[in-house]
């Protein structure tokens, strides 16, 4: 099971709480997923009031508040401070969006906000790209987890830059890495775990599925399969065919 900031969580699946057709469907999806962490946005989830907060607390999973929708350092830091008061946790998923269309994070503002928050006692989970230099700066800022995107948020495109993600995993072998955003299918989640990532965070693929609970269960199974495949040390791909049946003992006619 993955460990973040010294805390072991029960599952490598991290699931968002936005966009579900109803609170009941949200709760059903979480039960089906067995997710170890639920992410909650203070800015986006205000419509349900106290009933929504009660539902989130009743999910029985570790809560990871996030700063979704923030575009400046000041916004992100203020939102994080509010979330700490509401949820009584030093954990924060840090998002500082720099591009409105792709929702790509602003790397400069992200590092600045991470530095401020870690100095203030937060345990920061930064939503970033797979850029090695940005990730180095985030670690230098005090982050102990990195959350590179697979693809733009809500796109369902999967792992757009597998080379970059593999390089990131190889470059930071001892840092917990979570693929965050862009996962659309269970096969995408399995592929991330096969690469050796520690967890996958997704939301839209489950919330917008025709059967959210069914998709949540499928994602959980995919992550389990991907984790087992990575542990089994899979064969390397090759360009040429290689017979699986040995030639020794073959009959010659």
The DSSP secondary structure of 41-105, one letter per residue, reads ETTT--TTHHHHHHHHHHT-SEEEEE-TT--SHHHHHHHHHHHHHHH--SEEEE--B--TTT--B
β-pairing verdict for 7-8 and 3-4:
antiparallel
Is the separation of the CB atoms in 175 and 199 below 8 Å? Answer: no
Give catalytic residue positions.
93
Is the separation of the CB atoms in 112 and 134 below 8 Å? Answer: no
Is the separation of the CB atoms in 134 and 99 below 8 Å? Answer: no
222: Cα separation from own chain's centroid: 14
């Amino acid at each position: 099971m993955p460990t973040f900031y010294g805390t072991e969580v029960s599952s490598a699946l991290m699931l968002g709480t936005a966009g579900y057709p109803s609170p009941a469907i949200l709760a059903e999806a979480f039960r089906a997923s067995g997710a170890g962490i639920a992410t909650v946005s203070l800015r986006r989830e205000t419509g349900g009031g106290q009933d929504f907060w009660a539902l989130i607390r009743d999910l029985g999973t570790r809560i990871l508040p996030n700063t979704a929708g923030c575009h400046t350092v000041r916004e992100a830091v203020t939102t994080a401070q509010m979330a700490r008061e509401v949820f009584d946790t030093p954990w924060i998923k840090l998002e500082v969006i720099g591009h409105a269309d792709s929702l790509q994070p602003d790397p400069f503002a992200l590092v600045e906000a991470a530095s401020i928050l870690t100095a203030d006692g937060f345990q920061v989970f930064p939503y970033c790209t797979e850029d090695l230099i940005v990730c180095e700066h985030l670690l230098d800022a005090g982050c102990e987890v990195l959350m590179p995107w697979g693809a733009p948020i809500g796109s369902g495109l999967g792992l757009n830059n597998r080379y970059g993600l593999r390089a990131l995993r190889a470059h930071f072998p001892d840092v917990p890495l979570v693929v965050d955003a862009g996962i659309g299918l269970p096969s995408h989640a399995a592929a991330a775990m096969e690469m050796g990532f520690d967890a996958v965070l997704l939301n839209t693929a489950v919330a917008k599925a025709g059967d959210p609970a069914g998709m949540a269960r499928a994602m959980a199974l995919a992550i389990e399969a991907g984790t087992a495949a990575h542990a089994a040390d899979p064969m390397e791909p090759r360009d040429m065919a290689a017979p699986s049946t040995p030639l020794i003992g073959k009959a010659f006619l």
